[in-house]
Amino acid sequence: MNDRQVIPEIVGSNASLRMAAMQAIDAVEHGQHFIIEGEPGSGRRLMARSAWHHRRPTTRSLFTLDCLMFRGDAAEELLFGERSTGGSPSNIRLGKLNLVAGGGLLLLHVEELSLELQRRLARAIDQYLRLPPHAGVQLLMTCAPSLDVPLSIHSDLSAMLLRVRIPALRERVEDIRAIAEAFLRDASPFERIRCSQALMDQFRRYDWPGNITELRSVMRRLLLESHNGLLDLRHLADAMYRNENSFTLLQCPHGPFPIETSFIQRDSFPESRGPQ
């Protein structure tokens, strides 16, 4: 695959990131079910949705279901539909798997589904393999665990999936400046704002537990500081000083000065929607 086919919404030149993007695009193109694994805030949802829209015509719909929001019986009804006790056709409500026929279904945080529900999902998807392409369903998923740990996914479902791993931000520090500048261009399109090299060096020394979402949150907070088109370490220090009673630790021991506060709770970052 040549460079022009890599997902344009994904910012950065990291080799692992580009490989993940190409794997996702190829999977969509060939109708292969796949799961994107990575840490919260690393851009799993953006990768899946962008790969779909990059390779599929707009006539093929992509439905999204967040398994964190719908669990247990609610998730089962949304996926498979339900029938009232009366049993008449008018009392049947179709599920996503019926409504999305010929398109794609993106399941976010699939590890939240029970193993029994995952097994039923695998059986349903297996039945679609016997249908013509325009009547089948392509399954896209995201999951929090990395490739290094066992997935909490039923073996029947896991066997159907191509596993795509999106790297954490600390694994692609060479992309931090590009991501920060892309955010600045998007947040302030009529003003040219730059980041000093000292600020970038400080960012590269931090491990970013919240990944892209945390970086964007930090940049958003820095934009509230008084600046003349250049964000520097003093803006970071001022932002932390004003918020030291509200945020958790951001430890970066080798920086030019100790950074003692973070801008978001370590485990509270939603999945990023902006450029990755």
Q: Tell me what pLDDT residue 268 has.
A: 41
Residue 172: burial class (beta carbons within 10 Å; 0-12, 13-18, 19+): buried
**pTM exceeding 0.85:** no
The lowest-confidence range among 37-41, 129-133, 157-161, 180-184 is 129-133
Token digits of residue 15? 């080799």
Q: Tell me the residue length of the chain.
A: 276
183 pLDDT band, cuts 50/70/90, is very high
Most confident of 53-67, 129-143, 226-240: 226-240
DSSP 257: S
Token digits of residue 174? 């060479």
Which domains, from first to last, does the chain contain?
3-167 (3.40.50.300), 173-276 (1.10.8.60)
Q: Tell me what pLDDT residue 255 has.
A: 40
Residues 6+ apart with CB under 8 A from 164: 20, 23, 24, 27, 34, 35, 36, 37, 47
Measured in whole angstroms, the distance separating CA 263 from the mean position of its chain's CA atoms is 20
In the predicted model, is pLDDT for residue 261 greater than 50?
Answer: no
In the predicted model, is pLDDT for residue 88 greater than 70?
Answer: no
Most confident of 7-11, 249-253, 256-260: 7-11
Helix (H) or strand (E) holding 141: strand 138-143
pLDDT tens, position by position, 68-79: 888 777 888 888
**Segment 86-93 mean pLDDT:** 51
pLDDT tens, position by position, 98-117: 767 778 889 999 988 888 99
